[in-house]
Amino acid sequence: MGSTQSTETKPQLSEKLSERKLAQQLQALQVNQDDHIANGFVHVDSDPPTPLSSGSPTLSVSATQEWEKKLLEDPKNRLALSALTSNAPNTILTSRSTKIADTQAFNIKIPLEGSPVTNQRASGRCWLFAATNVFRVAVMRRHNLKEFQLSQAYLFYWDKLEKANFFLEQVLDTMGEDLEGRLMQMLLASPVGDGGQWDMVANLVNKYGLVPQSVYPDSYNAMNSHSMDTLITTKLREDALVLRSLAGNSATSQSSLAVVKEKMLREIHLMLTLMLGPPPSPDSNFTWEYYDKNDALHRVETTPLKFAKELSSSTSVRACGGTDVHELFSLVNDPRNEYKTLLSVKRLGNVLEGRSVAYVNVDMNTMKTACIGMLRRGLPIFFGSDVGKYLDGAAGIMDLDIIDYSLAFNTALNMSKAQRLMAGESSMTHAMVLTAVHIVDGKPVRWRVQNSWGETAGDKGWFVMSDKWMDQFVYQAVVDPEFVSKEVREVLEQKPKMLELWDPMGALA
């Protein structure tokens, strides 16, 4: 399935091939009617058949008892029962040979990957960690640093406040919607969730800038965000009901609504400030003192906005081989939709009137070619994936062969990438960074991944992703426009196809 999606430029053809393959697999599994179906029985082996439930739609207890009896007659199933009732399936079914094969060895690797390994702790800030881990490489090159982190908490603070404002504006803009309808329930589900997307990071950096982590370090609630998120979400849901009630009253003026909304935002600001700490002002000076690689002490006085703009300076662009990190954009692979089209998502964002979420939909081959070009230039790549699938988190391996479900359960999971999206089985759940690739005979075999789960996960924080896993579960890569064709770049000029807010492409990593 993955190789087909990598080479075809039309998802419909890829889907037909996937469906044909699935049909062939199902046909191969079909029992022969003459030999195995007779008088209401289905024969799965040479033993006497088990009666069916006379076409009844209800579950037959007697049938389940017969199934259990047949199941436990097999010694392999009894062994599986003993193992699987005492352990998680993933730990029992891990492939030793796959773990050995997925080694941390790569023939194309960026010279400066960025350190230390970061840790998002008990929060959903992976997108902010992945983005700042990309940005920091440019900062480290400019300032000749051995280790460095940008403040993820700084962007986290402003993202929460912007999302609160964005949510309240969506409430005012959807007064005609049924409160119990799908749209309103989706908006109310997670008004200030921790997740986000690349264009949302760009909005925050453009408006608020960047600061080193030492200037605005993590607070407890940045590292453990659940309680804070729950409290603010509850307050915003209450605010939504108040706004809808007021707006539904013909006596309420627009100016009155604006005053009420501002009071609500001020309350959210108070909560955030007390739980995360007052952040630096975007246009006020901060002082950053640091040692470079040669242990020379430096002192910088600048503002968050100026510090972020340094990444577009001629010095920084030269240090990144000609790439301006502020110009990067998102490629996605969504085989449900036509390739070389621009996708966006309705009512998804953080900064009101900021940059919209924009995805250029391409085949996997186009995405991989751009990623390899980035790595050859020495640049890290922000990417979004469904990280929980076929994952050995302890070993740091993402590989379709790492867990053999068929070994225990005698069944296969055969959905294509498009089918998983359509069935709600998969979406972008996590953002990480690519820093290396291993190529054999001109084709990528495995990729090196910088995660944000700390040094205790994977190989001291580093993961390996097989190329086949990438085909199936990577949805996004953020690249320099230089590494795609003119035809792909021009997709950004299209009017986007607007996906619904609940579409899988609307998932926030």
Q: Which residues contact 182 (CB under 8 A, 6 or more apart)?
A: 502
Show the 3-state SS of 131-151.
Answer: HHHHHHHHHHHHHCCCCCCEC
Report yes or no: 392 and 457 within 8 Å, Cβ to Cβ: no
Q: Which residue among the candidates 320, 337, 430, 438 is catalytic per the annotation?
A: 430
Q: Which residue among the candidates 126, 133, 320, 361 is catalytic per the annotation?
A: 126
Cα torsion angle, 118, 304, 323, 317, sign = negative
β pairing state of 359-361 and 329-332: parallel
Can you name the residues that pair with 108 across neighbouring β-strands? 437
**DSSP-assigned letter for residue 403:** B
Report yes or no: 172 and 243 within 8 Å, Cβ to Cβ: yes
Report yes or no: 157 and 268 within 8 Å, Cβ to Cβ: no
SS3 of 318, please? helix
Distance CA 206, CA 397 (A): 35
Distance CA 62, CA 51 (A): 9
- HSE toward the beta carbon, residue 220, CA cutoff 13 A: 4
Q: Which residues contact 440 (CB under 8 A, 6 or more apart)?
A: none
371 part of the active site: no
Distance CA 508, CA 272 (A): 21
Distance CA 55, CA 64 (A): 15
90 part of the active site: no
Tokens of 440: 């054999």
Tokens of 60: 């037959």
126 part of the active site: yes
Q: Which residues are catalytic?
A: 126, 430, 451
